[in-house]
Amino acid sequence: MALPPQVNRNEPTALRAQILGVEHWSLLASRSLIWQEVFSRTGTFLTILSATVVALSLVVQAAGFGGNFRTIALLVLPLVLLVGLTTFTRLVEADIEDAWLVIGMNRLRHAYVELVPDLDRYLVTGHHDDEASLLQTYSFRRRVGLTHLLAGSPVVVGIIDAVISGVLTAIVCQSLGGPIPLQVTVGLITTLGSAAGLCALFVRRIGRFRRGFHPQFPRSGDRAAVGAGLG
């Protein structure tokens, strides 16, 4: 009578570790592609903006702030603003996608700790998928300040977009014969309104992310606070 084959008790653990490792590298590659796109889109927008400013300055040197300048500005600035708005929208979406990838990697690290329980003391990044662990993976802190948020690429691009919209509105007002005080007032109101609109878009997208975020491995006692400070 043939004996049953010997069962290797370490094989399931090794197989789980191998599968988790492959998934971890896949998420890392996805994050790398997202950040390459972020840098590429931001750099492209800033390059277009710089070229437009240089071109308008050359027009001013050649013809002054007359009708030729206004015509060229009204043709070029809307295109720059369009590129800026699409860049801002994509950067916000890229940040959300990156957050989901970080959550996925935190869950994988949690699985590593389940396989090797004393592994958590060697990890500087989070191995839970709640808010505090997400921020720990991003900045090695459980909370981040306002300066960290304001330094983000979407905020910088959004501010530039708001300023461009204000300048464009002021030029339109000048073309219609409005006085200088009116031009300044309309431009300032448009800038502030555009900034408020972009901020609202950013906050609404973050809120949608929070509503769809349900942690599976939160820290003890942190389940109710998940999503309270993301974004």
Cβ density class 181-196: b for 16+ within 10 Å, e for less: eebeebbeebbeebbe
pLDDT value at residue 213: 87
Nearest to 157 by CA among 77, 231, 84: 84
Amino acid of residue 204: R
Q: How far apart are CA 24 and CA 223, in angstroms?
A: 24
Tell me the torsion sign for CA atoms 93, 95, 98, 99.
Answer: negative
- Residue ranges of the alpha helices (H) in 64-123? 67-115
pLDDT value at residue 144: 64
Q: In the chain, what are the domain boundaries? A: 14-219
Per residue in 189-230, pLDDT (tens digit) is: 999 999 999 999 999 998 899 888 888 888 875 543 333 334
Nearest to 75 by CA among 98, 58, 55, 89: 55
What is this structure's pTM? 0.83
Cα angle value 36/106/13 (rounded, 5°): 115
**147 to 22, 38, 79: CA distances (angstroms):** 35, 20, 30
Nearest to 98 by CA among 159, 148, 140, 37: 37
pLDDT value at residue 33: 94
Amino acid of residue 44: T
Lowest mean pLDDT among 9-13, 94-98, 127-131: 9-13
Nearest to 33 by CA among 83, 105, 97: 97
- The helix or strand, by DSSP H or E, that contains position 50, with its residue range, turns out to be helix 11-63
pLDDT value at residue 60: 87
Distant-in-sequence, close-in-space partners of 206: CB < 8 Å, separation ≥ 6: 96, 230, 231
Per residue in 114-147, pLDDT (tens digit) is: 998 888 888 888 888 888 888 888 877 666 666 6
pLDDT at 4 over 70: no
Helix and strand numbers (H, E) in the chain are 6, 0
